[in-house]
């Protein structure tokens, strides 16, 4: 996809699908690595975060205990960085990479990812929605993935009365304008988590195996931040040396901001 079109789609719709954000050889490696990680977690052999695959999500993929360097190499690879840098610029710091994997059905219900309460007023929510974006996230389908539903362009406005009901009362109802995002293996969805969205695994889908990643813009003047408990494992002494050189810089920029 042309960068200008990607930027327009992200700005106007809040999401776009790229078919060229991962090399085929890397895709094969990532699927094999993901299946290995899932097996290790299911067997109890490795549990970096201490929660197993709780909620169908496995964190800690960069930890050397898993023995799968493909995840770190992927985050640094040119195909995905090409898109990230067009939104954030070249100066980056470590964000996240984890695995959505499940052979059971689930439904998250409608929500936004920006962390505000679901019933905040218009002024408060619009302030959140209009805040400068310092990160971007994406989902890479390692197998076909039809699980995400979004309301395009909802990141630009306050919720409708119907959406308010869906966010607070009936979180599994249908919403006007909802669209299912059907990712084929190897496709990457870059998307704004402030979209009204919902994750639903169909009963006839055998498995979900999707890699979700994110990177952040580096700001040398940023204030320190409380450690996200999902990422506390990254403070371990054995992490940095196992990362690719480019990611070591991103890691150092993340690490110096953590209150530990």
Residue 118 is predicted with a pLDDT of 77
The CATH number for 43's domain is 2.60.120.620
Please answer whether residues 162 and 175 qualify as being in contact, where contact means their C-beta atoms are separated by less than 8 angstroms: yes
Q: Which residues of the chain have pLDDT under 70?
A: 115-116, 260
> 122 burial class (0-12, 13-18, 19+ CB within 10 angstroms)?
exposed
pLDDT tens, position by position, 160-211: 999 999 999 999 999 999 999 999 999 999 999 999 999 999 988 989 999 9
Residue 52 is predicted with a pLDDT of 78
Backbone angles phi, psi at 201, to 5 degrees: -95, 115
The Cα–Cα gap between 14 and 247 comes to 27
DSSP 120: -
pTM: 0.94
Residue 77 is predicted with a pLDDT of 96
Q: Tokens for 135, please give them.
A: 């990160």
65 vs 37, 59, 236, CA distance in Å?
A: 10, 12, 12
The Cα–Cα gap between 44 and 260 comes to 27
Supply the range of the domain harboring residue 95: 3-259
Q: How many domains does the chain have?
A: 1
Residue 102 is predicted with a pLDDT of 82
């Amino acid at each position: 996809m042309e960068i200008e079109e990607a930027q327009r789609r992200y700005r106007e719709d809040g999401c776009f699908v790229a078919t060229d954000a991962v090399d085929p050889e890397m895709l094969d490696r990532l699927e094999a690595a993901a299946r290995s990680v899932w097996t290790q977690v299911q067997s109890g052999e490795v549990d970096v975060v201490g929660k197993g695959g709780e909620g169908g999500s496995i964190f800690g993929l960069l930890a050397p205990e898993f023995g799968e360097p493909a995840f770190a190499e992927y985050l640094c690879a040119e195909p995905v960085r090409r898109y990230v840098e067009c939104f954030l610029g070249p100066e980056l710091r470590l964000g996240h990479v984890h695995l959505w994997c499940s052979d059971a059905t689930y439904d998250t219900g409608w929500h936004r990812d920006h962390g505000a309460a679901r019933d905040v007023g218009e002024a408060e929510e619009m302030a959140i929605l209009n805040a400068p974006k310092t990160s971007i996230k994406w989902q890479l389908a390692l197998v076909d993935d039809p699980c995400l539903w979004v309301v395009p362009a909802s990141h630009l406005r306050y919720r409708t009365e119907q959406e308010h009901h869906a966010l607070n009362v009936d979180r599994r109802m249908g919403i006007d304008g909802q669209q299912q995002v059907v990712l084929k293996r190897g496709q990457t969805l870059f998307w704004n988590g402030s979209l009204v969205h919902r994750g639903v695994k169909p009963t006839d889908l055998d498995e979900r195996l999707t890699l979700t990643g994110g990177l952040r813009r580096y700001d040398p003047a940023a204030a320190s931040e409380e450690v996200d408990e999902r990422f506390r494992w990254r403070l371990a002494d054995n992490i940095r040396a196992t990362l690719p050189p480019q990611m070591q810089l991103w890691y150092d920029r993340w690490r110096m901001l953590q209150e530990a």
